[in-house]
Chains A and B, each alone.
Chain A
C-alpha cells in the first residue's frame, strides 16, 4: 500500500488569508480524490483529479494534480470560517482491486473570523 502523507497536519488562519495543503506519495496515483469533513459529519467529496498536471477549480478552491501524479495540492483563496474542517485526500491502491479507497490522515483547518 502506498504511503499517503498530508501536510500540514493542523492549520489555523484568519479569515481572508490564502492557504495551501498537500497530499504526497512516493508512488504514482491512478487518480486522487479530495474530501472535506466538517465537525460531526461524514466526509463529502470535493473533486477527483485524474490527469497529471490537471487543475480543477471549485469556487475559491483550486486543486492541482502533479505532473508525475505523485502529489496533489489544494489551494484556498480568501478563506472563510465555513471552510473550517478536515481535508482528506484518498486514492485507489494498485493492489486488491479498485473497490477500496485509502485515505490520508488529513489536514485540520480552522479559519478564525
Chain B
C-alpha cells in the first residue's frame, strides 16, 4: 500500500470556523489530489498539485484553498466552513509514470460542519 496518511480522521466543527486537513505521503510522488465524496455525487476533485507550490482547481473548488510547501504534504483549507462542506475528504497521490494516471488514496477524513 502507498504510504498516505490523512489527519485528522474525524472532525466536527461549527459553521464559520476555519478548518485545515492534512495529507502526508512517504512515496515522493509528484501529484497530489483532494477529493470529496458525497452520496449521489461520487468522488469529485477539489484541487490538485503537480509539484511544490504548483496547484490547480478541480471541479468543486469554491470555498477551498490548498497549499503544498513540501513534496510530502498537501493541505486543504476551508476558510469559513459551511454545512454544505460536510463530507468525507480523500487525498490521493500519483507518480504519473503510467500515462493512465493511476491514483492511490488515503483513508479519508470525515468532516461534519454543524
Chain A residues near B (Cβ < 8 Å): 30-31, 33, 40-45, 48, 50, 88, 92, 98-106
Chain B residues near A (Cβ < 8 Å): 4, 31, 40-45, 48, 50, 56, 58, 90, 92, 96, 98-108
Q: In the complex, which residues of chain A have a beta carbon less than 8 angstroms from the beta carbon of B4?
A: 42
Contact B43 A41 (CB under 8 A): no
Which residue from chain B places its CB closest to the CB of A32 in the assembled complex? B100
Contact A31 B58 (CB under 8 A): no
Which residue from chain A places its CB closest to the CB of B58 in the assembled complex? A100
Which residue from chain B places its CB closest to the CB of A100 in the assembled complex? B45
Q: In the complex, which residues of chain B have a beta carbon less than 8 angstroms from the beta carbon of A45?
A: 102-104
Q: Can you list 23 A-B contacts (CB < 8 A)?
A: A31-B99, A33-B102, A40-B107, A40-B108, A41-B108, A42-B92, A43-B43, A43-B105, A44-B105, A48-B98, A48-B100, A48-B102, A88-B42, A88-B43, A98-B96, A99-B31, A99-B48, A99-B56, A100-B48, A101-B45, A103-B43, A103-B44, A104-B42
Q: In the complex, which residues of chain B have a beta carbon less than 8 angstroms from the beta carbon of A99?
A: 31, 48, 50, 56, 96, 101
**CA distance in complex: A22, B96 (Å):** 26
**CA distance in complex: A101, B31 (Å):** 12
**CA distance in complex: A106, B108 (Å):** 17
**CA distance in complex: A32, B83 (Å):** 34
